[in-house]
Amino acid sequence: MLKIFNTQLNGIFKKIDAQETEIDIASRLLAQAVVGEGRIFVKGFGDLRYFEDFIVESEESLFGAEKMITESVLDRTDRVLLMADTYDDAVIEYIKDLDEFDIDYVLVCNKDERINSMNFIDLSTPRALVPMEDFSRIIKPHLMAMNYIYYAIYAGMKELLEEETD
């Protein structure tokens, strides 16, 4: 079972790697808030809401990022990192609010035909990975994929911000 899981997980990471341009754009967009007068806010939906604390409070936190409490505190210099395992009604409504206030954001979630966001990164985990004897599947590695994407964005931002200070 571990071999199957490893193979499937590596496939997800390769799909994420193929989005290098999107990840670079996300890094640049979020870095704009750091070098400008804006702030970075994070908002997670579904299982990815648990990732907010890591992004905000870890040793490798996202450059002063804050948890999103309400959209009313945002202005056009701020940026938002949105994370969701599924593109559901809650995410759609949240994005409508951000669009209404003309706030730039990065959306990380599984691909959905309704997504028309400029700054989108596919989480690449639409279903469980490991098949069982009863033909069901287990293990949806949303957090592992988000962690991988996060570190790619973090490293890109770190590089950009170091160039800015040189």
Neighbours of 126 (CB within 10 A): 15
| Per CATH, domain 2-165 is 3.40.50.10790 | no
Give the Cα separation of 30 and 58 in Å (integer): 18
pLDDT category at 165 given cuts 50, 70, 90 is confident
The pLDDT assigned to 69 comes to: 80
Task: Write down the mean pLDDT value for the chain.
Answer: 94
* Residue 166 pLDDT exceeds 70: no
Would you list the domain boundaries of the chain? Answer: 2-165
Largest CA-CA distance found in the chain, in angstroms, rounded? 58
Instruction: Quote the percentage of the chain above a pLDDT of 70.
Output: 99
CA-wise closest residue to 23 among 166, 160, 162, 164: 160
Q: What are phi and psi of 62, to 5 degrees?
A: -85, 70
pLDDT digits (tens, 9 = 90+) for 3-34: 999 999 999 999 999 999 999 999 999 999 99
pLDDT digits (tens, 9 = 90+) for 49-81: 999 999 999 999 999 899 988 776 899 999 999
